[in-house]
Amino acid sequence: MEKVPIGVLGGSGLYEMPGFHAVEEVRLTTPFGEPSDPYRVGRLEGKRIAFLARHGRGHRIPPSAINYRANLFGFKLLGVEHLISASAVGSLKQELRPLDFVVPDQFYDRTRQRIATFFDTAGLVVHVAFADPVCPHLSALLAGSADGVAPRVHRGGTYVCMEGPQFSTRAESQVYRQLGFSVIGMTNLTEAKLAREAEICYATLALVTDYDCWHETEVTIEQVIEYVHRNAANAQESIRRAVAALDPAAERRCRCAGALRGCFVTAPELVGGERRRALAPLIGRYLPEEAA
């Protein structure tokens, strides 16, 4: 199969993007199980691109039940090097209004139930740097692509990732504000951690649907869903522009492409052949199978 260098994680509304054509469904099996949905692979702006609905089409998988590892491993199998994530978020700052877009540069983890690494079992210990959790070049390109599309585009800020599926309590929301966080969501940090281990450039397009419950405005699920739909068209156009501006053939100038270099703690001779084979798409250039 021809390599697919660009991936998009988001809702099913992104599949109907104008100009997305020559579409085929690709079902993949990974060492971590099945991804959320088949990947929809086609061309946008003349470039090969793969879309995946993180919650499955019809939004049937809750945040903590998403098989994040299978989703990201599948993108790696397809050859994805640049991954754009689009997701709805709540605002924790007055100036980040509903229908605004935020391209965060930091995350804060409030999840408790998720495995957020490909290296969680005995036999191979890997410690990857994650001080700067998104790709700066892809993030800048994504923010520039959203300019003039969304009412306002905010560069930088911290996305606090909560477990869900419930929204925050008022006390939690106030604490997040006191800590200076910008937006709150339920998915993107887990994706960012795995993208880093997969050496994939990752950036988040956070679509503000509401003020979190700290605000005097009462938030209802009906209002959130309304803004989700209103954000969809702007997200489609922003992603189309980002894909048009991306040059998949250009050498990546960020550290994402070599994120695993020097991060293996386990002595190579102790890493079994079965483990090497299963993780070959991730570690093959560092620990080749024939060396087992």
Could you give the angle at the alpha carbon of 221 between the alpha carbons of 89 and 113, nearest 5°? 55
Q: What is the reported pLDDT for 230?
A: 83
**Block mean pLDDT (10 aa), the chain, length 292:** 93 77 93 96 96 93 97 98 96 96 98 95 93 98 97 98 95 97 97 98 95 81 78 93 95 94 95 94 90 56
pLDDT at residue 291, as a whole number: 58
CATH 3.10.450.350 fits 6-260, yes or no: no
pLDDT of residue 292: 53
Neighbours of 28 (CB within 10 A): 16
In the chain, at which residue ranges do the beta strands (DSSP E only) sit? 6-10, 21-26, 39-44, 47-53, 82-91, 101-103, 106-110, 153-155, 158-162, 183-185, 201-211
Instruction: Tell me the three state secondary structure of residue 268.
Output: helix
Annotated catalytic residue: which of 37, 132, 212, 247? Answer: 212
The whole-number pLDDT of residue 121 equals 87
Rounded CA-CA distance 127/29 in Å is 26
Q: What is the pTM assigned to this prediction?
A: 0.95
Where do the H-state alpha helices sit in the chain? 68-78, 136-146, 170-178, 188-197, 221-245, 273-278, 280-283
Q: Is 147 a catalytic residue?
A: no
User: 197-231 in b/e burial notation, b at 16+ Cβ within 10 A?
Assistant: bbbbbbbbbbbbbbbbbbbeeebeeeeeeebbeeb
Ranges of each domain in the chain = 6-260
212 is catalytic: yes
